[in-house]
Amino acid sequence: MSKTQPTRITDKKFAPTQPRAMLEALMEGTKHAIWYLDTDYRFLEGNTAFIDLYLNCFGQLPEKGTALYCEAWEQFPQLGCFEDYENVFNGNGATRSKTVKLVATGTIYKLEFLPITDTNPTQVHGVCVQLKDITARIRSRQELEESKTQLLEAQEIGGIGNWNWDMENNEINWSDPLFNIFGLHPNEFDGSYESLVRYIHPEEKEAFHDDIRRSIREKSDHDIVLRILTHSGETKYVHQKGKAFYDDNGWAYRMAGTTQDVTQTVLANQKIALQNKELQHFVHVVSHNLRSPISNILMLPQVYVRGKHPANDAIVDQMIYMTKRLDQTIKDLNHTLELKKVNKADFRMVSLHKVMLEVKKLLDDDLRKHKVQLSTDFSLASDIPCYQGYMLNILYNLILNGIRYKQFGKNPKIHVSSDKRDGKRIVRVRDNGIGIELTPERRKKIFEMYGKLSGKTKGKGLGLYLVKAQVEALEGTINVNSIPGKGTTFTMEFNAL
């Protein structure tokens, strides 16, 4: 082969089966660089993409019939190295490929080396090289893998996994978190419906089957909370949701959905239900035990002769008032526990000024004993839609809380205020008590039954639990902020009528 008469890909030795015009169309119809070299590294043919690449690398056009390989060639890994070409020329005619990444630009290329042979596939006469920029493809693949990883991480954190049930072939595919939820290794679950049912609690199997059948029959969501037995025998609660997919004939062929571990939530709700039951029993016992003494005290005005001893008259009046308030408080507690939420139709616009007058009467002894500075500001919202008995108990307990948790050597200062915001009524109770560092755990437990701001007091921890129960019964919310040594603020929001 001479340099002046280079071997062409259309020469008999290298002639492809396609016509020349078709070959050129194929080469120029791609954005990938394609070039042909013979076994002496002489340039035979290349498309426009290769010409541009070569010009960009060497600053000159490649000459046909000229050996292109030189020391400078090794500076451009996207062109392939000497070893790559030698492996092709000395090989058995097999196609080879490699991936290279340019450090300077981060561009990733795939090089494919196709040996040129004649009727003897082991006799290599040259090579066709194709260079593909696969950066976007690799990055998309990496992003997809990252997304999968992030999804699995999110599922692990949330205790949730997804599943797909091929109903025609009875094959269930689980995401990795589901194996953790069920305490199984992938090879311990054969992916059949029957295998899944084996891990459902015996008392839940019928309900599970019924919900699956109902979902398919009614073309509605599969949605059920049930117990499962893990591989180790542990009982867990899971919330499973799914949806069936149907073919053109209306037959369900696939179902997909999620399964979430809700054991902690269910157990917490069971604990709350038990606490509510205990509290209800406690209030009923107290109510029953106090009913007779309260009735006797309320009968006192009918037998007591007034006017002889004015001091005694005042004591009796105060006793009767406090007894009536105690009687009403017990009734309100029973109402809270039995109804949980008051009918909004029963709400009335209640004057906060009047409620505070009642609170002050109930706390009169505590206010004087502890020299409490109790102030109010209801200028922005003097009325609030609620059930008056509840609001009385709420403010009573929050103010009493501020008195109980006062700082040593300081007179308690408690301020009750109201406001309007976004159509809601805001009520705040702020004190200068000992305060507390509200960690997430403490913030969660402060309104639980027997939860307290401090373990240094003799309170039973029922007050804040009742406050939250009554605020929520009024369709409101309550939050707390506290700073050690500064005090605590309770903020309640109620909807307008």
Residue 161 corresponds to which amino acid? G
In this structure, are 283 and 185 located in the same domain? no
Cα–chain center distance at 342:
32
- Domain harbouring 414, CATH code: 3.30.565.10
Q: What CATH number does the domain containing 62 carry?
A: 3.30.450.20
Q: Are residues 486 and 346 located together in one domain of the fold?
A: yes
| 414-434 core/surface letters (b: 16 or more CB in 10 A; e: else) | bbbbbbeeeeebbbbbbbbbb
- Domain containing 412 equals 341-495
Beta strands in 234-309 (DSSP E): 235-246, 252-261
Domain boundary among 227, 261, 295: 261
**Residue 362 sits in the same domain as residue 491:** yes
Per-residue confidence (pLDDT) for residue 447, from 0 to 100: 80
Other residues' Cβ atoms within 10 Å of the Cβ of residue 194: 8
Residues 159 and 195 in one domain: yes
In degrees, to the nearest 5, what angle opens at C-alpha 61 toward C-alphas 56 and 64? 135
Say if 163 falls within a structural domain. yes
Q: Which pLDDT score, from 0 to 100, does residue 455 have?
A: 46
**Is residue 143 in a domain?**
no
Question: Is residue 281 included in any domain, yes or no?
Answer: yes
Tell me: do 448 and 477 sit in the same domain. Answer: yes
Pair (294, 361) in one structural domain: no
* pLDDT, position 483: 92
- The CA distance from 233 to 185, in Å, is 15
Residues contacting residue 33 through CB under 8 Å, at least 6 positions apart: 46, 47, 49, 50, 52, 53, 130, 131
Q: Are residues 230 and 267 in the same domain?
A: no
What residues are paired with 239 via a beta bridge? 225, 260
Same domain, 214 and 358: no
Contact 58, 70 (CB under 8 A): no
Q: Which of 78, 102, 133 is the endpoint of a domain?
A: 133
Assigned domain for 438 exists: yes
Does 288 share its domain with 234? no
The tens place of each residue's pLDDT in the chain, 497 residues long, gives 333 333 334 444 444 444 556 667 777 888 999 999 999 999 998 999 999 999 999 999 999 888 888 878 888 999 988 888 998 888 766 788 999 999 888 899 999 999 988 777 778 889 999 999 999 888 888 888 887 777 777 777 778 889 999 999 999 999 888 999 999 988 889 999 999 999 999 999 999 999 999 999 999 999 999 999 998 899 999 999 999 999 999 999 999 999 999 998 888 778 767 776 776 667 667 666 666 676 767 676 666 667 777 777 777 777 777 777 677 666 656 655 554 555 677 788 999 999 999 999 889 888 999 999 999 999 999 999 888 888 998 999 999 999 999 998 899 999 999 999 988 999 999 999 999 888 776 777 788 755 554 545 444 456 788 888 889 888 899 999 999 999 999 999 998 77
Is the residue at 13 inside a domain? no
Cα angle 125-129-130, degrees, rounded to a multiple of 5: 155
Q: Does residue 142 sit within a domain?
A: no
Name 495's Cβ contacts closer than 8 Å, sequence gap at least 6: 385, 423, 424, 425, 475, 476
**Do residue 447 and residue 362 come from a single domain?**
yes
The residue from 272, 287, 320 where one domain ends is 320
Does 349 lie in the same domain as 487? yes
Domain shared by 287 and 395, yes or no: no
**Paired tokens of 450:** 């027997």
Give how many domains the chain has, as a whole number: 4
234 found inside a domain? yes
In a domain, 457, yes or no: yes
